[in-house]
Amino acid sequence: MTRQQRLVVIGAGGRGRDAYGRWVIEHPDRARIVAVADVSEPRRSALAAEAGGAAEYGDWRDVVADLAALRADGVVIAVPDALHVDVAVAVAEAGIPFLLEKPAAPTLAELSRLARHVADTSSRLAVGHVLRFTPFWRSIKRILDSGAIGRTMTLEVRENIGFWHFAHSYVRGNWRSTARAGAMVLTKTSHDLDLIRWLAGSAPDSVYSIGELTWFRPENAPPGAPQFCLDGCPVADSCPFYAPRYYVDALAGVSGHPVHLLGADTSPAGRLAALRTGDYGRCVYRSDNDVADHQQTTMMFPGGLTATLTASAFTAENTRNVAITGSAGQLTGHMESGEIVVDLFSPTATLPHDLPLASHTAETRQPMGHRRHTLHVAMPNADLGDHAGHAGGDAALMAEFVDALVAGTVGAGELSFATALDSHLIAFAAEESRLSGTPVDFAAWTSRLDIAPSPKESPTHE
């Protein structure tokens, strides 16, 4: 039998505890958490207790110094974004493979520092771009690579952030400030840029992006709106972003993510107390946020493939949609439901037979004769819904990471740093384009940096 892998979790917040840590606790045959580091005693103690009595550290430096004594096989880094590179470099110097939550770095300078360290030391690093590990996106990749829809011509991804999720994370929460965490195109849509880069098979030739912070601004506040929702908001009954309606009413039965971010007391009274003076109770028009609330990015890839990413705060769903056209067919998909619709134009085209499907319906479309296949990808049973989980991607990435620890392949294949580096560079190029109003020649732009995108791959669907 494979030996149980010994993991250290640095950062016991929403990602460290609810995404990555939870998987380890639920798979004791595969791995165990031997130590937890977090500046918050309640957070680290909660995860350490759930893990069966893991060692606790208040400072990440102390646990890194003890990695050898802890006999750690791997490390999960899920600290605030500004600390990512400092912790990653220290763990890499200790010689331990690690999984680093995205974004790998909040600035170009920090990304450059990390990339140089990886190159100089051959660090075994994987970045938490979880979506490529979901059954949904793996099925799409498999269909494209099979050649079923021919040569890929256009690729559109729509990131529906969800009006409540944007208010939580990007107006009131940790990712509301460019200086504090980074631009929204990096902190939120680096997942989507990673998917586009992965499906396209290469870095782009050019990047152009438009968007702005339009709605969550002081001038849009209703007359008389106070600093905090509970300070007598005159439009409490009608405002879509009234904090108690979300944290107290809609999430009444939830005690984990995102409610536990308010504080240790998740009772109705505890939630209300936290909302009276805490960040999550602020009026969305009177916060200190500055990140864009909607943005569209277009990319041109070698061979003529064009891609578009649309991200919007103003959506009902919190999911992704995809539309791909090819020379011999088209594909559309809805991540939350797991539905993928494939229209095959060629009478002889076939779909791969090894897709992880729950159901498959095929019919001939008349009068033009093309065939439509409606696929439903088997979705994971256990997930965290709209608030986390990423359609099974969190669990799938952890399973892949632990397998790679056993095989000694962290930093290679699907867990390589190369395409993660590309997607981060695309995000920084997109933000530069948004601010300047001009397209970015990606190759020329990256040539001026200390780092460069990965070489072009040869996907079978080109």
Q: Where are the domains of the chain?
A: 5-130+393-411, 132-216+291-389+418-447, 218-281
Instruction: Classify the C-alpha dihedral 427-432-437-441 as positive or negative.
Output: negative
> In this structure, what token pair is assigned to residue 50?
């759930």
Distances in whole angstroms, Cα of residue 446 to Cα of each of 10, 164, 206: 31, 36, 11
The larger pLDDT score, comparing residue 2 to residue 151, is at 151
Residue 384 scores a pLDDT above 50: no
DSSP calls for 26-70: H-TTTEEEEEEE-S-HHHHHHHHHHTTS-EEESSHHHHHHTTTTT
Contacts of 442 (CB under 8 A, 6+ apart): 203, 204, 205, 206, 207, 425, 426, 429, 453
Classify domain 132-216+291-389+418-447 at the CATH topology level: Dihydrodipicolinate Reductase; domain 2 (3.30.360)
* Spatial distance between the Cα atoms of 29 and 3, rounded to a whole number of angstroms: 8
pLDDT in tens, 6-15: 999 999 988 8
Strand order in the sheet with 206-212: 357-364, 371-377, 339-344, 329-334, 319-326, 152-160, 306-312, 294-300, 206-212, 440-441
DSSP calls for 155-201: EEEEEE--HHHHIIIIISSTTS-TTTT--HHHHTTHHHHHHHHHHHT
The answer to whether the 5-130+393-411 and 132-216+291-389+418-447 domains have the same CATH topology is no
Mean pLDDT of the chain: 91
Residue 385 scores a pLDDT above 70: no
Classify domain 5-130+393-411 at the CATH topology level: Rossmann fold (3.40.50)
Instruction: Classify the C-alpha dihedral 361-363-368-369 as positive or negative.
Output: positive
What phi, psi does 366 have (nearest 5°)?
-115, 155
Instruction: Classify the C-alpha dihedral 211-213-215-219 as positive or negative.
Output: negative
What phi, psi does 411 have (nearest 5°)?
100, 0
* Spatial distance between the Cα atoms of 187 and 176, rounded to a whole number of angstroms: 10
> In this structure, what token pair is assigned to residue 425?
């560079």
Residue 141 scores a pLDDT above 90: yes
Cβ-count burial 303-341 (b if 16+ within 10 Å, e if not): eebbbbbbbbbebebbbbbbebbbebbbbebbbbebebe
pLDDT in tens, 433-453: 999 999 999 999 998 887 756
pLDDT in tens, 289-314: 999 999 999 999 999 999 999 999 99
Average pLDDT over residues 343-368: 84
- In this prediction, residue 150 carries a pLDDT of 96
Q: 305, 155 in Cβ contact below 8 A? A: yes
pTM over 0.75: yes
Q: For residue 83, how far is the Cα from the chain centroid?
A: 17
Instruction: Classify the C-alpha dihedral 409-414-420-422 as positive or negative.
Output: positive
